[in-house]
Amino acid sequence: MTPHRGSSAGGPRPRPVIRLPHEQELFARGRGVQDHIADVITAFAGSMVFVYVHMVWFAGWIMINEGIFGQAAVFDPFPFGLLTMIVSLEAIFLSTFVMVSQNRQAARDTIRADLNFEASVRSEVWSTNLGRALGLDPEEIERQTQELLATSRARMNSELGRQRP
């Protein structure tokens, strides 16, 4: 705790130090090398470079195995069984990497939701105490808040109803 400047004549009052953890800090603590590798692979697989590399690879594979460079170069004749197997294995691994990344994103979303909840509780406690210090009635403010929320939800639900076919 650090002293508060400009406090009352009774001496300096301690000022609480509020340290809110940052989502990225908490998330980085649980991230290992394998997670980093999965993220890099998923990021590459979701890029246009990945698409272009595959277009060139498939075109080259098909041209070679259709005999464009001579029959001696053919190693996987039509219907390209080896290519089919490689592409199937690639799809299996890529889907696994995507699931790993999605699981990590879900964990990150949970951390973010927990931090948002903590911030909301902290704000509510501060607001209630400030309201009481100002002589406001917390029950009346809560009633007004509930009315506002109900009106907002009703408006949102009616707008959603209009958007549905």
Do the beta carbons of residue 98 and residue 45 sit within 8 Å? Answer: yes
Confidence of residue 2 (pLDDT cuts 50, 70, 90): very low
Instruction: Give the H/E segment covering residue 27.
Output: helix 23-29
Residue 11 has pLDDT above 70, yes or no: no
Beta bridge partners of 14: 3
Residues 6 or more apart in contact with residue 5 via CB below 8 angstroms:
12
Q: Which two tokens stand for residue 13?
A: 């009052």
The Cβ of residue 55 has, within 10 Å, a number of other Cβ atoms equal to 10
In percent, the amount of the chain with pLDDT more than 70 equals 83
Residue 121 has pLDDT above 70, yes or no: yes
Confidence of residue 9 (pLDDT cuts 50, 70, 90): low
Residue predicted with more confidence, 165 or 45: 45
Gap between the Cα atoms of 51 and 44, Å rounded: 10
Mean pLDDT value of segment 39-51: 93
Confidence of residue 161 (pLDDT cuts 50, 70, 90): confident
Mean pLDDT value of segment 96-119: 89
Gap between the Cα atoms of 58 and 68, Å rounded: 14
Gap between the Cα atoms of 6 and 141, Å rounded: 32
Average pLDDT, the chain: 85
